[in-house]
Structure formats: structure tokens, C-alpha cells
């Protein structure tokens, strides 16, 4: 009989849950606000909020409302100043792990370190961290990029985008060890991310098919998918159960399911239940092959 395994931790992480609680609290108080960018990288959640009248705006002056909510990714300090200039009040839902990365980058900068952020240059979280160093921090996304940073005789302070892989941080740091005068690393990675990545890796090694649930634009979900694809021949990244295809599960023994930190837990659960239906009720196990991919 085939087996469907659900990760022990899936669905909203602490930071996202906290941000959504802040949204609800503010709504109940009757505070009028929009969010600066989508509150989380999940289209269903963003659509739900829109129905409640809370829009994701690109810039602060795009909202006519008196309050603007800063999402978990955080923002550079100039955004707070801009809000003040425009007479808007801030509801700050920056995840505490992200706020810590911003703080550590500022600290390194103040202590005269060359700040290096390991992460994705254009990710909003990284932009917020770099903004906390007056734009001076250097962002590197690979060991190759780290090689190009001139660290000769310098004190280097490394911080990480919260969702970054540990092996990438190690790769970057090892490039600095020979030439830098000193290298310090503030481990600003988030526990949730690490735990989910570890579990995904282990699960992917064990199963025949791995299904990762979450927004296609969610960095942490995509990372889970990358890890799954590296360790399992058949890994799929979907946003909701309708995207499942019977042929993925033809003649297999084990399926693993997990979800990104911005994925509502019920959506992961729905996918898990649907796979069980396909396997046990749909008769795909050892049965007719589907329509092809
Ligand atoms: S994944 Fe971690 S850092 Fe990102 S919002 Fe969730 S708890 Fe915060």
C-alpha cells in the first residue's frame, strides 16, 4: 500500500501568523489601512484580504487610508521617514527574525565592519537589511559572487537573509577567510526555515514523489522545492490542490507533502487529503496511467 507523509511542521510560520494576527486586531479596532506590498506571498490570502477592503499597494502614497502596514519582510528606514512625511501612521508587522537581521547589519556597520548580506539582491527583505546600512552592505548570492568582494585586510560582518541555506552561508564565509582581517557571522537565519528545510531534505530522500505547497512567488517555498528536487527525482511545486495531476502518482510507494511558511495550513492539508484520495480512491496505484504531463 502506498503511503502519504505530511511534514510535522507546515503552514504559516511564527512571523506570518503574527502579521495576520496584527491585521485582524487592527480590523477589529476599526483602523483603516492597506499593506505595503502583498502581506505574504500567497495569492489566496491576499485575495481574502482584498475582499475585506485591505489592498496591497506598491507605494505609500498609493493608499488614501491613514495607516499603512509593513509586512514580515520589513523595509528600509527611508520608508518610515516617507510615511511620516506623508502623514501616514505605520503598523509594523516586520517579523522579529527579520528585525534582528536589520539590527545586526546596523551594528556591524556602526562598528566599522564591511557588511555582507548573504541572500537575493532583489528580495524585499534583503533591500530592508541593506537599507539599514545606508545602502552600503554588499549582497552576495553565491560563493562565486563572494570571490569578487575585496575583503583584503578588512573586518567583515556577515548576516543572512532569514530563508537562506546554511551551506550557502558557509560557502560565502569560506571565501573570505583567507584575505579578511576578521570575519564575524550573525546567524540571522530563522529556525522555522532551517527546520522545514531539514525535514524536507530527509523526507525527499525517503519518498518517490514530493509535493511542495505554496505561492510560486514565495522565496521560502521555492527553496523547499529546490531542496526537494535535489533529493527526490520527482518534486512538484503547486499552489493548490487543483494543480495535482493523477499521473504524478502512478505506481509509486511513498509521497511526501509539505508547505512554505506563507502557505495557509488548511491548503497544505487539502493537498494531502486530495493525494490520499487520488492514491486510494482513484485507483492510480498500479492502475491506468493518466493523460501524460
Ligand atoms: S520564515 Fe522565519 S523569518 Fe520569515 S516570516 Fe516566518 S518566522 Fe519570520
Say what the pLDDT of residue 283 is. Answer: 52
User: How far does the centroid of ligand 1 lie from the alpha carbon of residue 190, in Å?
Assistant: 6
Q: Which of 7, 55, 65 lies closest to 207, judged by CA?
A: 7
Q: Which range in 34-43, 58-67, 162-171 is most confidently predicted, on average pLDDT?
A: 58-67
Tell me the CATH number of domain 97-189, given options 3.40.50.720, 3.40.1010.20, 3.30.450.30, 3.40.50.1360: 3.40.1010.20
How far from the centroid of its chain's Cα atoms is residue 211's Cα? Answer: 17
Predicted confidence (pLDDT) per residue in 245-283, tens digit: 999 999 899 999 999 998 999 999 999 999 999 998 755
- For the chain, where do the domains classified as CATH 3.40.1010.20 start and end? 3-11+192-281, 97-189
| DSSP letter for each residue of 12-51 | --HHHHHHHHHHHHHHHTT--EEEES-SSS-HHHHHHHHH
Model pLDDT, residue 157: 98
Q: Please state, in angstroms and rounded to a whole number, the distance separating the CA atoms of residues 162 and 193.
A: 8
CA dihedral 165, 168, 169, 171 (to 10 degrees): 160
CATH class, 14-95 region? alpha beta
Q: Say if residues 23 and 50 touch (Cβ distance below 8 Å).
A: no
Backbone angles phi, psi at 196, to 5 degrees: -65, -40
Model confidence, pTM: 0.84
* 152, 145 contact by CB (below 8 A): no
Tell me which of 125, 175, 239, 274 is the catalytic residue. Answer: 125
Sheet holding 254-259, edge to edge: 3-6, 254-259, 209-213, 234-238
Our answer to whether residue 125 is catalytic in this structure is yes
What's the pLDDT band for 44 if we cut at 50, 70, 90?
Answer: confident
In CATH, the number for domain 3-11+192-281 is: 3.40.1010.20
Return the closest-CA partner of residue 44 out of 272, 270, 262: 262
Phi, psi of 21 (to 5 degrees): -65, -40
Rounded to whole angstroms, the Cα distance separating 293 from 287 reads 17
**Numbered ranges of CATH 3.40.50.11270 in the chain:** 14-95
Report whether residue 12 contacts ligand 1, using a CB cutoff of 6 Å: no
Q: Answer yes or no: is the C-beta of 193 below 6 A from any ligand 1 atom.
A: yes
Amino acid at each position: 500500500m502506498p503511503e502519504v507523509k505530511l511534514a510535522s511542521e507546515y503552514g504559516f510560520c511564527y512571523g506570518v501568523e503574527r502579521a495576520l494576527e496584527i491585521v485582524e486586531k487592527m480590523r477589529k479596532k476599526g483602523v483603516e489601512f492597506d499593506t505595503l506590498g502583498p502581506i505574504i506571498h500567497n495569492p489566496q490570502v491576499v485575495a481574502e484580504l482584498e475582499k475585506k477592503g485591505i489592498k496591497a499597494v506598491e507605494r505609500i502614497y498609493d493608499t488614501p487610508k491613514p495607516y499603512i502596514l509593513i509586512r514580515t519582510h520589513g523595509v528600509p528606514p527611508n520608508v518610515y521617514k516617507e510615511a511620516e512625511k506623508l502623514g501616514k501612521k505605520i503598523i509594523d508587522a516586520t517579523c522579529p527574525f527579520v528585525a534582528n537581521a536589520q539590527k545586526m547589519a546596523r551594528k556591524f556597520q556602526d562598528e566599522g565592519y564591511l557588511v555582507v548580506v548573504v541572500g537575493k539582491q532583489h528580495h524585499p527583505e534583503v533591500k530592508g537589511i541593506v537599507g539599514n546600512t545606508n545602502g552600503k552592505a554588499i549582497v552576495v548570492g553565491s560563493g562565486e559572487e563572494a570571490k569578487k568582494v575585496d575583503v583584503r585586510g578588512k573586518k567583515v560582518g556577515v548576516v543572512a537573509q532569514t530563508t537562506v541555506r546554511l551551506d550557502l552561508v558557509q560557502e560565502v564565509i569560506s571565501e573570505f577567510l583567507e584575505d579578511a582581517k576578521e570575519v564575524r557571522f550573525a546567524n540571522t537565519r530563522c529556525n522555522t526555515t532551517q527546520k522545514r528545510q531539514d525535514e524536507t531534505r530527509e523526507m525527499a530522500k525517503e519518498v518517490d514523489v514530493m509535493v511542495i505547497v505554496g505561492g510560486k512567488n514565495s522565496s521560502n517555498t521555492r527553496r523547499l522545492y529546490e531542496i526537494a528536487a535535489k533529493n527526490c527525482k520527482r518534486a512538484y511545486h503547486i499552489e493548490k490542490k487543483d494543480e495535482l495531476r493523477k499521473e504524478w502518482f502512478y505506481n509509486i510507494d511513498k509521497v511526501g507533502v509539505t508547505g512554505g511558511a506563507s502557505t495557509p495550513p488548511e491548503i497544505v492539508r487539502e493537498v494531502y487529503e486530495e493525494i490520499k484520495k487520488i492514491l486510494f480512491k482513484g485507483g492510480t496505484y498500479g492502475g491506468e496511467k493518466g493523460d501524460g504531463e
